[in-house]
Amino acid sequence: MISFFRPEIDVMTGYIPGEQPKRDSKIIKLNSNENPYPPSPKVKDVLHNFDWEWLRRYPDSSATEFRHAVSEVLDIPANWIIVGNGSDEVLNLVIRACTDSGRKVVYPMPTYVLYRTLVEIQPAQRVEIDYSQDYKLPIEELVKVNGAITFIATPNSPSGHIVPIEDLRELASRLSGVLVIDEAYVDFATDDALSLVKEFDNVISIRTLSKGYSLAGIRLGFGIANPKLLQGLYKIKDSYNIDAIACAIGTAAIRDQSYKKNNANKVKASREKLAIALEELGFKVWKSQTNFLLVKPPFDNAEYLYSNLKEKGILIRYFKQEGLEDKLRISIGTEEENKVLVAALIRAMNEIL
């Protein structure tokens, strides 16, 4: 059969997002690393008072109001910021601006699955390097590839580990291409890579409001880099990629740092509690600086536990992927949800014994 598509599109699989149950269903959703708490009450005020008549106009093409809020909160000039329809869009802009069939895109595995999807769409060479068991950054191998783009998610998904800043600094200094530091989980971590953006003109830090700010539903993320690096990304982005409502909501949310920090603290406390509870059940639990845990069940039955929990109305993430077949990724829920999860895991494990 003749295809309508480019060969790259014919052979690719496409990204498979975590399942999204209907809004009112009783399902406990711990599969997409969403925040278990609602967004800032300031968001509610913005929605309530939003001047709906203005929606007839196109929105501000560079989300100026939001960029200025980010600028104040992170103490970085507003022209060092580019805003995306989710941080996924910013990742996509980097890929589209920097790749061609002769250029390499490299990242350590396992990591955020979308990097592979985005590269597969392009004519570009994909190079994947395995993390060792202890998730130490394979600096030498990454430098040897010297990709047009190197992606590092830190803290990483699905492992939850953070890459030490000195490792990132060494990598940035030895690469000639762009180093993308994907900091989607920075709000739950002990450190961030913002200083490297100021030190190196080939580094872009990517942030999102989806996780720390409980705003996955509005699709808002941003990149921080030297204006020289942002210039190419601004050229290719859709003119009106951020809608007026998202811009207003995001501005209110990012200004409410105390609310965000308070929620992050709750999530971190629950994370440590859940880690202990799962260890007591015999799970191996990786140290996490995120809002999820990577765990390995005591018996080799990760996929079974995933399906069994799904039948019990609890969604967690199972990746049928090399190195992850025996593991599960569990987003941190509310205290109540985590209790229900642990009880369900105990039942699921008893059902097979």
The footprint of ligand PLP (CB under 6 A) covers: 33, 86-88, 112, 153, 157, 182, 184, 208, 210-211, 216, 221
- Least Cβ distance, residue 32 to ligand PLP (angstroms): 8
Q: Which residue is nearest to ligand PLP (CB)?
A: 86
Cβ-based nearer residue to ligand PLP, 31 or 87: 87
Phi and psi for 7 in degrees, rounded to 5?
Answer: -55, -35
- Least Cβ distance, residue 348 to ligand PLP (angstroms): 26
Cβ-based nearer residue to ligand PLP, 111 or 308: 111
- Cβ neighbourhood burial of 70 (10 Å; 0-12, 13-18, 19+): buried
- Least Cβ distance, residue 91 to ligand PLP (angstroms): 7
Cβ-based nearer residue to ligand PLP, 211 or 260: 211
Cβ-based nearer residue to ligand PLP, 308 or 331: 331
Cβ-based nearer residue to ligand PLP, 205 or 270: 205
- Least Cβ distance, residue 282 to ligand PLP (angstroms): 27
Which amino acid does the sequence have at 180?
V
- Least Cβ distance, residue 184 to ligand PLP (angstroms): 4
Cβ-based nearer residue to ligand PLP, 138 or 250: 250
Q: Which residues contact 282 (CB under 8 A, 6 or more apart)?
A: 297, 298
Cβ-based nearer residue to ligand PLP, 121 or 340: 121
- Least Cβ distance, residue 110 to ligand PLP (angstroms): 11
Q: Which of 314, 273, 320 lies closest to 293, judged by CA?
A: 273
- Least Cβ distance, residue 189 to ligand PLP (angstroms): 12
Cβ-based nearer residue to ligand PLP, 157 or 241: 157
- Least Cβ distance, residue 219 to ligand PLP (angstroms): 7
Burial pattern 171-184, b for ≥16 Cβ within 10 A else e, equals: bbeebebbbbbbbb
For the chain, the maximum distance between any two Cα atoms, rounded to a whole number of angstroms, is: 62
